[in-house]
Amino acid sequence: MNDRGQARMVDISDKQPTARMALARAVLRMSPATAGMLAQGGLPKGDALPMARTAGILAAKKTSGLIPLCHPIAITKLEIDFQVDAAAGLVTVLAEARTTDRTGIEMEALTAAATAALTIYDMCKSVQKDIEITNIVLLEKTGGKSGPYKRKD
């Protein structure tokens, strides 16, 4: 029973496990000088990209503990890549997550992308405070009852 205003976890007990994939993105806007330091691993805190990758992976593994009604699922693959356009001052974080489970892996991919972006911000903030994290979005997903989804940009 679900009364108005009362949250509930979705019952997935009758669902069959299926192969699922989600791809999420986050974009950071910063000065070209900061992006150049990031690309070269020359920030005061050190090389941010490997640290951001690790942070994103760790966060994805804890998604069900961060998002109240999110089911814990077995992540079978999580890959985080970065595209740094130093001249434009743009960093794109791409997080791909995979599982074979009863529910989707979108939240894990989004959590990974967002946390990796936050880690980059943290490691760059001594150089530049006004970095923007934008466009945290689901780009694509496969598997499950609702079928495939691909963002139209």
- Its pTM stands at 0.93
CA distance 112 to 121: 14
Ordered by start, the domain boundaries in the chain are 18-150
User: Any idea which residues carry the catalytic annotation?
Assistant: 122
Q: Please report which residue ranges of the chain form alpha helices under DSSP H.
A: 32-40, 48-61, 63-66, 106-124
Q: Indicate the fold that domain 18-150 takes in CATH.
A: Alpha-Beta Plaits (3.30.70)
How would you classify residue 115: left for phi > 0, otherwise alpha for psi between -120 and 50, otherwise beta? alpha
Half-sphere exposure of 87 (CA within 13 A, CB side): 0
CA distance 106 to 63: 10
CA distance 28 to 34: 11
List the chain pLDDT tens, one digit each, 153 residues.
Answer: 556 778 888 888 888 899 999 999 999 999 999 999 999 999 999 999 999 999 999 999 999 999 999 999 999 999 999 999 999 999 999 999 999 999 999 999 999 999 999 999 999 999 999 999 999 999 999 998 888 999 997
